[in-house]
Amino acid sequence: MKMSIPLIGHDRQIQYINKSSKADRLPHAYLFHGPSHIGKLTVALTLAQSFFCESAKKLDIRSICHECSSCRAIAEYRHPAVAMLDTAHTLVSKKETRKEIPIEDIRELKRMFSFASQGTAMRLAIINEVEKMSEEASNAFLKLLEEPGANTLLILITTNRDLLLPTIISRTQAIGFSCVGDTALKMILKEYAVASDEEEELLMLAAGRPGVLVELCRDPAYAKEERALLRDIRTAVRDRDMVSAFRISEKVSQDPELREKTISYIFIELRNALIRASGDPAPIAGAIKRVSRIAQALDSTNVNPRLGMDVMFLECIKAPLYVS
């Protein structure tokens, strides 16, 4: 099924971009930062489409048609004026599996942008997972940020801007994105005709992330796996069962994708506990801060993943998340 509602939430951010466009004040580079799967890349692609859509209203990124040849080409990462770069999409790098964006691709991007743009036509580059640029690539990218050329827009996307060079951050217009409210997410549930008795659980699993909710609606097998993972985490924490918690920790520690999901569901449990707290919320808030620091360390340092996950579960188990 084709998703017909491609852009959910983020009204404030979109209004800001539209206002900048109408005032002819678009920066040469944006930095979109915020949690994963909440729509940062979707906003970036929609902004790119707004420059080329055959029926969009001028400088209004919500008015694109999504159906014209230009919109489809950008959505499929094949438009000649929109370069897409991350660990999965390459310009010249030949590695099939990449953990970082190498300098070769940044050099190619610089070469592409070294030519003058044709007339007033825009050219864009979307660099997703920009925090995964190698050190060499980051330093080379700085030069492109300093002199991107006319009619050029660079859109950088990251889940953690603290991992970026300060000089990169200072040369961009940063826009923060946060999780989307359930009211907006229900538009996705309506699009996929989700049964009313399933809505609450799917919204809980999505935790404000439109990308996750779309995948849950599209793939029942995926939704089943996610329900089981959340149930196991919740049971281990609720029962203060360290053996079960450490078993989960061992399973997910060497799988970065599964580890990211597990951390997301741990945060769901902490958030829900904070919402229903009837007494002093400080202990739960403290646990959230400590778990956040551990999650950041797992993402940005060489800390042992198993040790990090073990400590994260211990923080949850000792926090007053459930009332006896």
Q: pLDDT tens digits, residue range 99-153?
A: 889 999 999 999 988 876 665 678 999 999 999 999 999 999 998 898 887 889 9
- Secondary structure element (H or E) that encloses residue 174, with its range: strand 173-176
User: For residues 47 and 36, what is the distance between their CA atoms, to the nearest angstrom?
Assistant: 19
CA dist., res. 68 & res. 57, Å (int): 14
Cβ atoms 168, 145 nearer than 8 A: yes
3 pLDDT exceeds 60?
no
Q: Which of the pair, 287 or 31, is modelled with greater confidence?
A: 31
Six token digits for residue 101: 């964006």
Helix (H, G, I), strand (E, B) or coil at 35: coil
Residue 181 has pLDDT above 50, yes or no: yes
187 burial level (CB within 10 Å; 0-12, 13-18, 19+): middle
> Angle formed by the axes of helices 196-206 and 256-276, to 10°?
110
Query: 299: closest CA among 174, 159, 141?
Result: 159
The arithmetic mean of pLDDT across residues 317-324, rounded, is 68
**pLDDT over 70 percentage in the chain:** 94
Question: Is pLDDT of 227 > 80?
Answer: yes
Q: What's the predicted TM-score (pTM) here?
A: 0.83
Query: How many residues are listed for the chain in this entry?
Result: 324
In DSSP terms, which residues pair with 174 in a beta bridge? 31
Q: Find the range with the poorest average confidence among 124-133, 161-170, 291-300.
A: 291-300
